[in-house]
């Protein structure tokens, strides 16, 4: 096990470097970077000062553009006075010590920005994960046991209908129906807490938080039920049809004992191995559309704004953290699979 884990950890290094290098290279060819944005802003101010009578100092020189000294200062401000390979190496040295740099536009450390936005993403991710597993696994087992029944047909229709509805569309419907739209005003429109949250009691804080998180979480989980439910059903059906189950029934064991003593452990292996990755992903997953719709300032919205604003330290810093978390989640999933099923050998995992 130690040899396998060490091997996987070493393989993470070239994988991570390759992803960072590819993204960094693409960024170099994307127009509209921070230098271009600053130049455009200065040009606008230059035109404005000329129209107003030339008052104030302007670094814009008409058709000559920005003077060379000022352009050099702008490039140095954003670190673009160095060649691309040197900038990439400086970035890697910072990432090695988990120094993700400073945002161009927020004037804050990227770590600070991630820590500020993460509570929103954790709230959405963990609640979605917990509710999805608590509902989908029992329903999937019930569907497998009652395969072909009316219950199986009805639940399949419901969960597949929910899966077909985009979470953003469902969120709009929920706001119209229950968020003060054309019908009822049972839930708030924005934020995770009320403005007076600090003055509330402990019970009041918990109630207020749950009151705010209900609609966005509901919009997220409805579409997530289908995958886990159908996976649970199919794995249980596959195990039910195996020879050892027929042998257990032939020995006279009650159906409940056959299900929970023999089938349950083997059938849950795919779910158990996928849970660590889903759990880690819940801390970093940000849904842009849901966060925008419900005015939740989380990681999804931060990532989108960073890309649109060409805030490269935020883009690369979040890519580094997300990629590292994903690689570790995959390793944990593979190790948990081997621990859950001793028949699986490390040499064959992840290949």
Looking at the structure, do residues 132 and 60 belong to the same domain, yes or no?
Answer: no
Widest Cα–Cα separation across the chain: 99
Gap between the Cα atoms of 32 and 79, Å rounded = 16
Q: Which of 69-78, 82-91, 209-218, 280-289 has the lowest mean pLDDT?
A: 280-289
Q: What is the DSSP letter of 347?
A: G
**Is residue 226 scored above 50 in pLDDT?**
yes
Structural domain boundaries, residue 279 = 110-346
Q: Are 217 and 121 in contact (CB under 8 A)?
A: no
Task: Report if residue 338 sits inside a domain.
Answer: yes
Looking at the structure, do residues 55 and 178 belong to the same domain, yes or no?
Answer: no
**Coil, helix or strand at residue 106:** coil
Gap between the Cα atoms of 84 and 102, Å rounded = 18
Gap between the Cα atoms of 59 and 70, Å rounded = 7
Looking at the structure, do residues 274 and 138 belong to the same domain, yes or no?
Answer: yes
Looking at the structure, do residues 201 and 314 belong to the same domain, yes or no?
Answer: yes
Q: Quickly count: other Cβ atoms within 10 Å of residue 104's Cβ.
A: 21
The pLDDT tens digits for 156-178 are: 899 888 888 888 888 888 888 88
Task: Report if residue 200 sits inside a domain.
Answer: yes
pTM of the predicted model as reported, rounded to 2 decimal places: 0.73
The pLDDT tens digits for 8-44 are: 888 888 998 999 899 888 888 777 777 777 777 766 6
Total count of domains within the chain = 2
pLDDT above 70: percentage of residues in the chain: 86
Q: Give residue 49's pLDDT band: very low, low, confident or very high (50, 70, 90).
A: very low
Looking at the structure, do residues 54 and 132 belong to the same domain, yes or no?
Answer: no
Gap between the Cα atoms of 299 and 120, Å rounded = 8
From the list 98, 119, 121, the residue with the least C-alpha distance to 110 is 98
Task: Report if residue 85 sits inside a domain.
Answer: no
Cα dist from 297 to 83, 226, 293, 303, 314, whole Å: 35, 28, 10, 11, 15
Task: Report if residue 83 sits inside a domain.
Answer: no
**Coil, helix or strand at residue 349:** coil
Residue entry with tokens 């994988």: 15
Q: What is the DSSP letter of 82?
A: S
Q: What is the average pLDDT value for the chain, to the nearest integer?
A: 78
Q: Positive or negative CA dihedral for 287, 291, 296, 297?
A: positive
Residue 216 sits in a domain of what CATH number? 1.10.3720.10
Report the pLDDT value the prediction gives residue 69, as an integer from 0 to 100. Answer: 74
Task: Report if residue 22 sits inside a domain.
Answer: no
pLDDT, greater one: 123 or 55: 123
Gap between the Cα atoms of 136 and 163, Å rounded = 13
Q: Are 122 and 216 in contact (CB under 8 A)?
A: no
Task: Report if residue 197 sits inside a domain.
Answer: yes
Which residues 6+ apart lie within 8 Å of 177 measured at CB? Answer: 183, 184
Looking at the structure, do residues 57 and 173 belong to the same domain, yes or no?
Answer: no
Question: Which value, to the nearest 10 degrees, does the dihedral of the CA atoms of residues 157, 158, 163, 165 take?
Answer: 110
Task: Report if residue 146 sits inside a domain.
Answer: yes
Looking at the structure, do residues 41 and 157 belong to the same domain, yes or no?
Answer: no
Looking at the structure, do residues 52 and 144 belong to the same domain, yes or no?
Answer: no
Q: Which of 78, 101, 134 is the last residue of a domain?
A: 78
Task: Report if residue 208 sits inside a domain.
Answer: yes
């Amino acid at each position: 096990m130690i040899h396998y884990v060490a091997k996987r950890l070493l393989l993470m290094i070239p994988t991570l470097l390759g992803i960072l290098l590819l993204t960094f290279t693409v960024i170099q060819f994307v127009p509209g970077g921070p230098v271009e944005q600053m130049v455009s802003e200065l040009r606008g101010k230059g035109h404005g000062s000329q129209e107003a009578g030339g008052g104030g100092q302007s670094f814009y020189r008409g058709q000559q553009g920005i003077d060379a000294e000022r352009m050099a200062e702008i490039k140095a401000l954003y670190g673009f006075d160095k060649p691309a390979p040197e900038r990439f190496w400086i970035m890697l040295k910072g990432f090695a010590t988990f120094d993700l740099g400073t945002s161009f536009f927020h004037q804050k450390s990227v770590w600070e920005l991630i820590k500020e936005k993460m509570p929103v993403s954790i709230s959405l991710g963990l609640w979605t994960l917990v509710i999805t597993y608590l509902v989908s696994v029992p329903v999937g087992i019930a569907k497998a046991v009652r395969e072909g029944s009316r219950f199986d047909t009805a639940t399949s229709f419901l969960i597949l209908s929910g899966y077909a509805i985009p979470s953003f569309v469902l969120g709009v419907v929920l706001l119209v129906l229950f968020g003060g739209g054309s019908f009822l005003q049972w839930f708030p429109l924005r934020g995770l807490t009320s403005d007076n949250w600090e003055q509330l009691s402990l019970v009041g804080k918990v109630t207020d938080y749950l009151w705010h998180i209900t609609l966005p979480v509901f919009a997220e989980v409805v579409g997530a039920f289908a995958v886990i439910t159908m996976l649970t059903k199919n794995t249980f059906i596959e195990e039910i049809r195996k020879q050892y189950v027929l042998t257990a029934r032939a020995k006279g064991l009650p159906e409940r004992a056959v299900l929970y003593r023999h089938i349950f452990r083997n059938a849950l292996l795919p779910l158990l191995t996928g849970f660590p990755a889903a759990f880690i992903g819940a801390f970093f997953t940000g849904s842009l559309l849901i966060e925008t719709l419900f005015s939740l300032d989380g990681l999804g919205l931060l990532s989108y704004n960073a890309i649109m604003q060409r805030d490269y330290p935020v883009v690369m810093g979040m890519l580094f953290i997300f990629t590292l978390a994903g690689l570790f989640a995959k390793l944990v999933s593979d190790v948990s699979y081997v621990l859950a099923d001793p028949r699986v050998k490390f040499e064959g995992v992840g290949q």
